[in-house]
Amino acid sequence: MKRLAKTVFLVAGVLAVAVFSLGPFLWFVAAAFKTPSEVTAIPPEWFPSFSMAFFQSAVTRYGIFRYLLNSTVVAGATTVVTVSLGALAGYALARLPRRWSRVLLMGVLACAMFPQIATAGPIWRFLRLLEWLNTYQGLILPYVAFTLPLSVWILTLFFRELPEDLEAAALVDGCTRIGALFRVILPLSAPGLFTAAILTFIYAWNEFFLALLIMTDPAKQTMPVGIALFQGEYTIPWGEIAAASLITTAPLVLLVLLFQQRIVKGLSAGAVKG
């Protein structure tokens, strides 16, 4: 009897969590497949008629492919640069004597905590000086700075697990230091690099505040800015917003479904170690 009650309780809890997590989002994106009158119907129209009109208008009238392209370029480049720099720095921090790496790691960690607003004004002025406002590199570089701390952190922890004998053996075999890093250490670190890459990509894909400041030209705006600034002529274009939201979120949902364990590990790295 007690066992049955426990099972019922567990099932109810699991269902409640699933509905709470997915329900609101599913309801929202269902609007993308409706007709305008179905979106605003009361009582609500539970089942969409699977009209694709909103997707069509999101593409033709709002040009969301342009936003999608910008987001892909910015998030992709940010990921490549951050993981490359993060790997070099993480390796150095893992191998430097503790009393050095201690101070440096604390500094890097503190950078991750700073509010964006405290850097926004000077970054904007700096980019204006370089004439990099409304350019890809103008957004990518600040993103690299804001994603580096977490990547350095994840990779430092990862490299510390690899024994130093590995490089020592490679050096004896005639590798240079940099050769040992690229031919021995990095290939072994694929899982760590991959975790850092996923988290960096998600950050850069979702970021809004800096993108809003730096990309004022609609031709250069990323998906989040496009979605936030969607304007209809008379009413809010919910259908188009929902369609664009679904397209923006789909790759992230895919990443989560495929790599959830890696993501969880990366996020909690350091938080509970030891």
Partner 1 sequence: MNQMSHRFYLLLLLPTLLVLLLFIAGPVGQSFFLSFHRMIIGLPHLGAPFIGLQNYQELLNDPVARHSLWVTLIFVGTTTFFELLIGLLLALLMHRRFPGRGALRACVLIPWAIPTVVSAQMWRFLFNDAYGMVNYAMFGAETSAYIPWLALPSTALFSLILADIWKTASFAALLILAGLQVIPDELYQAARVDGAGTWRRFRHITWPLILPALLVALLFRTIDAFRVFDLAFVMTQGGPADATNVLQLYGYKKMFVEGWMGYGSAVSACIFAIILCLAVAYVRMVGRRLLEAGTG
Q: List the x/- string, 32-61, binding to partner 1 by CB under 8 A.
A: -------xxxxxx-----------------
- Binding test (CB under 8 A) with partner 1, winner from 121, 168, 169, 183: 121
197-221 b/e (C-beta count within 10 Å ≥ 16 → b): bbbbbbbbbbbeebbbbbbeeeebb
Burial of 258 (0-12, 13-18, 19+ CB in 10 A): exposed
Q: Cβ distance 206 to 222 under 8 Å?
A: no
Q: Which of 272, 268, 93, 88 is nearest to 182 (CA)?
A: 88
The residue (of 27 and 50) whose beta carbon lies closer to partner 1 is 27
Q: What angle do CA 175, 178, 179 make, to 5 degrees?
A: 40
Residue 242: both structure tokens together: 């929902």
Answer yes or no whether residue 180 interacts with partner 1 by CB under 8 A: no
Q: Which stretch binds partner 1 (CB under 8 A): 54-62, 72-80, 116-124, 186-194?
A: 116-124
CA–CA gap between residue 135 and residue 173 (Å, rounded): 46
Query: According to CB under 8 A, which one of 124, 132, 136, 194 is a site residue for partner 1?
Result: 124
Q: Number of helices (H) and strands (E), helices first, in the chain?
A: 14, 0
Out of 8, 14, 69, 168, the residue judged to bind partner 1 by CB under 8 A: 14
Residues 225 and 215: beta-carbon distance below 8 Å: yes
Of 8, 52, 110, 169, which one interacts with partner 1 (CB under 8 A)? Answer: 110
What is the C-alpha separation between 264 and 164, in angstroms, rounded?
27
Is 183 one of the binding residues for partner 1 (CB under 8 A)?
A: no
Q: Would you give the binding string for partner 1 spanning residues 156-175, x where CB under 8 A is met?
A: -x--x---------------
> Residue 50 has which token pair?
């699977």
Site string for partner 1, 65-84 (x = CB under 8 A): --------------------
Nearer to partner 1, 193 or 227 (CB): 227
Binds partner 1 by CB under 8 A, chosen from 4, 115, 163, 165: 115
Complex with partner 1: residue 42 or 172, whichever CB lies closer: 42
Helices (H), the chain: 2-30, 36-39, 53-60, 64-95, 98-113, 117-129, 136-161, 165-172, 177-180, 186-188, 190-206, 209-214, 223-229, 238-267
CA distance linking residue 79 with residue 77, whole number of Å: 5
Binding string to partner 1 for residues 222 to 241, with x set by CB under 8 A, is what?
A: -xxx-xx-x-------x--x
Of 55, 67, 146, 158, which one interacts with partner 1 (CB under 8 A)?
A: 146
CB of 238: closest distance to partner 1 in angstroms?
6
* Residue span binding partner 1 (CB under 8 A) among the ranges 52-60, 61-69, 85-93, 187-195: 85-93
The one segment of 49-57, 62-70, 183-191, 257-265 that binds partner 1 by CB under 8 A:
257-265
